[in-house]
Chains A and B, each alone.
Chain A
Amino acid sequence: MKVSHSEANVKNMAIVLKGIEKVYHSPRQVTCALKNVSLKIEEGESFGILGSKKSGKTTLLRCINLVETPTSGSLTVASTPITGQSSKNLDNIRRSLSYMMHPPLFMNTRTLYENIALPLEMTGKKPMFIRESLNSLLTALNLQDWANVYPYQASLFLKQRASFARALSTHPKILLCDDPTAGMDHKSLTLFLQMLQEMQERYKFTLIIATDELEVIKALCKRMGVLHHGQIAEQGTVANLLATPQSAVTKEFIKTAARGEMPANLRRRLKATPGENLYPILRLSFLGSSLQEPALTEVIRNFGLSINILQAHLETLVNQTLGVMVMEMRGEHEPVHQAIRLLEEKGLNIEVLGYVPATT
């Protein structure tokens, strides 16, 4: 009974990584790109890998994409353990995976359409069949008018859409996106995220998206892992990681994103370290229903503080809402400190964004 239960569990997992390590040996040095990475990604879910540049995101995706062989650790892709597979089987597994590279890469001797058709050509499909099966995809991604353009004539957004279409052309079970939104302007980004969601609904693929933009993950993923120096710093639901981040990296990402939301004049006055006549700017966050009592009022009253709310909003995550408030807390150093501790005990997550001089 127990065995069949665990088997059923394995079947639902699109990707299982256990203790993946990747070490590069070059004559000069040994670089450890991935250290003990373990992840489980369910079939059909959207999983975000948050990491800055050089954190090992691309190496991780390349390992999952089977173009890079991990130095050690075990890897299960599309419900199939990878070690010990024949090269013919590997080719079959590769065909159920698609990888969107960054920046999008094309054959310059082929038009966008011919590039999009390449994966199907590789599986030996006839041109007529390819044309028919790509038709609706091209329309959905607004590519039908641009199909005969050559890659060097195309804009970045057009190339990214074409790269997306190429990735979907084989109806993959798993789609790996490496920094797909890098360099996109706001309008393209919104459109692209929308397309990604529509396509996932239509083709039901498992999406793994690696990015350094928290916003992208917030818009698409229910769960995420934070990658730092080749290690998973923490993983869990996006809502939990945002509300109660544990690792310094996650906090830094949230802080950076929050600074982007602050009014410009405040951001200019912000100092990194506390001092005389400086008041802290706090970012409070809480999950939709976690705040049961009027904690804030209580604290202000008890400690004789005054607060100035600079910003407050609800962030809509996938299936969750996150309350976020940015405020200035005025008062003596010691009471402010105690107040923050008390609020944290009551389940609020507090991040000190910086300090500003008292205004008169």
Chain B
Amino acid sequence: MFPLLLDSLEETLFMMLSAGLLTFLLGLPIGILMAATRPKGMHPSPMLYKAINFTIELACSIPYLILMIALIPLMRHLLGPDKGALVTILSLSLAATPFFVQTTTKALLRVPRALIEMGISMGGKPLQILVKILLPEALPLIMQGFLRTLTHLLGFSVIAGALGAGGLGKLAIERGYYQFDLNYVVGITVVLILMLQAIQFCMRFFITEDIHGH
């Protein structure tokens, strides 16, 4: 049982982490764009903001299972049938990005407006203000949001496994559900709990100082 469990864990970890990386790279710019284009942001652009906001909210309101059911065949069709891992990772990150965008935007909005004005009055350019003031000040909250996104991704990747991708989800369906091997059910559950605990543990590093005193 253990070799099998370890192999599946490795697959799940790989899916989760690479999808996480992709989500971060995709979600951070969109989050920044949303914070900047909102009505009281640095570069208000109501049309763009509304368009992004609508898409994000729409994506967030679709249940994840249904989103995955829709995304996996779509990706398979777009990328070809032989790229199973890539299809899963892309689908996972597309499903997780809206959530991460929302937490990132919220984190950026928590930075006091007066700090941004301070940057402007120092003669800072928008990019300088973003890199030197906004992102560093919002980073703890952005990282908290990212770790929460990772926990979501863990759940998604298990669901993806059940839908045909590899990893713990596949193992749980094959051994736990069809063969009803209680050992696997317990083993997989324990592994998942441990992984969530590990993420929670990491989160603590970012919560120790709630830096804006809220």
For A65, give the chain B residue with the smallest CB separation.
B121
The answer on a CB contact under 8 Å between B136 and A95 is no
Do A101 and B136 touch across chains, with their CB atoms under 8 A apart? no
B121: A residues at CB distance < 8 A: 65-67, 94, 97, 99
B122 and A118 contacting across the interface, CB-CB below 8 Å:
yes
A71 within 8 A of B: no
A107 to B139 alpha-carbon distance, docked (Å): 12
Q: B124-143 interface mask toward A, CB cutoff 8 Å, 1 = contact, 0 = none?
A: 11001000110011011000
User: Is A18's beta carbon under 8 Å from chain B?
Assistant: no
List chain B residues, Cβ under 8 A from A122. Answer: 119, 122-124, 128, 132
B60 to chain A, nearest CB (A): 29
Evaluate contact between A92 and B123: CB separation under 8 angstroms: yes
Mask for B64-89, Cβ within 8 A of A = 1, else 0?
A: 00000000000000000000000000
Q: A332 at the A/B interface (Cβ < 8 Å)?
A: no
Give the chain A neighbours of B114 by CB distance below 8 A. Answer: 101, 105
Q: What are the residues of chain A within 8 A of B139 when measuring CB–CB?
A: 109
> Number of A-B pairs whose CB atoms are under 8 Å?
55
B213 contacts across to A, CB distance below 8 A: 152
Bound-state CA distance A62–B50 (Å) is 31
User: What's the nearest-Cβ distance from chain B to residue A143, in Å?
Assistant: 19
Q: CA separation between A170 and B212, bound complex, in Å?
A: 27
A67 touches B120 (CB 8 A): yes
8 Å CB contacts to A: which residues of B170-214? Answer: 209, 211-213
Min Cβ gap A120→B in Å is 9
A88-110 contacts to B, CB under 8 A, are 91-92, 94-95, 97, 99, 101, 105, 107-110
Q: Are B118 and A101 in contact (CB under 8 A)?
A: yes
Q: Which residue of A lies closest to B114 (CB)?
A: A105
Q: Mark B105-123, 1 if CB is under 8 A from A, else 0.
A: 0000000101101111111
Residues of A contacting B115 in the complex (Cβ-Cβ under 8 angstroms): 105, 107
Query: With A109-B139, A152-B211 known to touch, is A119 a contact of B120 (CB < 8 Å)?
Result: no
Complex Cα distance, B17 from A122, in Å, reads: 35
Q: Decide: B122 and A67 in contact? CB cutoff 8 A.
A: no
Contact B137 A118 (CB under 8 A): no
Query: Roughly how many angstroms separate A344 CA and B123 CA in the complex, as a whole number?
Result: 52
| A121 within 8 A of partner (CB) | yes
Q: Is the CB of A94 within 8 A of B122?
A: yes
List residues of chain A with CB within 8 A of the CB of B133.
107, 118
Tell me the complex Cα distance, A152–B213, Å: 9
CB-defined contacts of A118 to chain B, threshold 8 Å: 122, 132-133
Within 8 Å by CB of B136, from A94, A97, A109, A123, lies A109
Contact at A67–B119, with CB atoms within 8 Å?
no
A130 to chain B, nearest CB (A): 13
Indicate which residue in B123, B140, B211, B212 contacts A94 across the interface (CB closer than 8 Å): B123
Residue contact A105 to B112, C-beta cutoff 8 Å: yes
| Docked-complex contact A119 and B122, CB < 8 angstroms | yes
Q: What residues on A are CB-neighbors of B137 within 8 Å? A: 107-109
A152 contact set on B, CB distance < 8 A: 209, 211, 213
Q: A107-B133, A170-B122 are in contact. List 11 more A-B contacts (CB 8 A).
A: A67-B121, A91-B123, A97-B121, A105-B118, A108-B137, A108-B211, A119-B123, A122-B122, A122-B123, A152-B209, A152-B213
